[in-house]
Structure 1
Amino acid sequence: MNLQKLRRLILLLSLLLLPVTLFYLSPVLIIEGAVSGIFAGSAIIFTLIFFLSLFAGRIWCGWVCPFGSLQDLSREIQGKRVTNPWINRFRYGLFVIWILMLFTLFIKAGGILSVEPFYQTTGGLSITSPQELIMYTGLALGITAIALIVGRRGMCHLFCPISVLMIVGRKIRNVIGLPALQLVANPENCISCGRCTKECSQSLDVFSMVEEKQMEQAECILCGACIDVCPRDVIRFSFGRPEKKDRRKMI
């Protein structure tokens, strides 16, 4: 089983579990809990994902996120590469608004008054009523529609607060030089076939990254598609510190 078959299997299982996990991945419930000073289950998960990004970049996005699975399936219909930089920038504005609202609400509530891991769930389950099922279906269709309109992983590029959270974590890692999972390349073996760029889930110009021996990129979700598709094994995973000579470019 190559990396992509394993990855798609994990993502499919994550998607099937979404009726259980949906409320633990909701930025809206984090805001709702903050109104009453409640640190909700989704806030706990977001915090854990942030710390994960310090050592594994955006591996959550590439290997675990159920919404990523929906978007990868959409790619079979609409595989357009997303190259407009403004599409990526839009989510940063939304993220700043979300963070400011979150801090403001917690301050007004008097801080974090309680921690509720199962906030708004029923017996730990997210979807337990017809109304919640309708909401879940609408969300799934909406994410799929965005991917079909915008292109590969459209939701990740345009709206997702988790993607921004993990990008921030990765940049912190690059600044302080923590050892972490990363891609490395041996450009001497490259035959310039361009398959890595064509296959990239995040529409990155991986070929140029290999040529410049600069594999650290904020949009990379460490899915490993470029590794599997390369006929010369130019790209591989590694665990280590960012190279000092490249650290400025990584930030």
Structure 2
Amino acid sequence: MQSITNNPNDVKITAEQVETDCPAELTQLGDLIAHCFHEAAECEARAEEYRLEAGSLIVEAKELCDAGGFAAFRKKYFPTVSQSRAYELMAIATGKRTISQVREQTRQRVASTRARQKAKKHSATVAESNTGEVKPPDNVVQLVGVRAAREAAAPALQPTEALIEHFTRSSGGEQKALIDHVKGLSAAIDPFRQMIPMDPDTIAARTEETVGVYKAKLIRDALQMRLEPRAKKKIARLQFKSVETTDPETGNRVYARSRRGNASWH
């Protein structure tokens, strides 16, 4: 469509001009636009009438056919109309449903489909491959999220040496991001926020019941490798210390927590 405007000086028309004395070019454009919308509305109204008429005719055709015959009839004469849409038109034609009811059901169906697709896409980000291995995460924070998701399906899962090695090799920024994430988690469940950061055993003990044994141990192992200087000073003032050793009964790596010289195994 060829443009009808001719504005060589590129002077913009103001709102005051439109309201009081609209230029001829803009008036012509406005009339054409209004005409297009008017014709579109009339076409939509006529299309709706045609669809309703088609629904009545489909009802008559269905009465003349058995199930297989009607399916073949639909595919031959109106293949672009799905079977569900054909039945909707018949329901409207027979008065079983109104147009508004059909539209509302369509909206609900579309919303439900989108919700399922979104949930499927989200679950795919933490899904395991056919070999049972988690898709490699991009950073430490994602690694924690993936491990936490696996913990829901396998409560007995324990922090692995590979996870700790990944944390150790990560950049300082990634390690700081994990530690900040842990601090935020602890702050949300710990009424004594001024005590954060604190020693790993204390954080683990206070988060164990809330976020689960696995995540608590992960927090403890992660922070054990990197404690800020001010955290160490606060630990000293609280007279806490955490010592890594081996359980004499099981041989597993454990932590001994002591306060004023009294140690306890956990």
Same fold (TM > 0.5):
no
Which structure exhibits the higher relative contact order, with contacts defined as CA atoms closer than 8 Å and separated by 6 or more residues?
A: 1
Q: Which protein is bigger by CA-based radius of gyration?
A: 2
TM-score normalised by L of structure 1:
0.22
TM-score, length-scaled by structure 2? 0.21
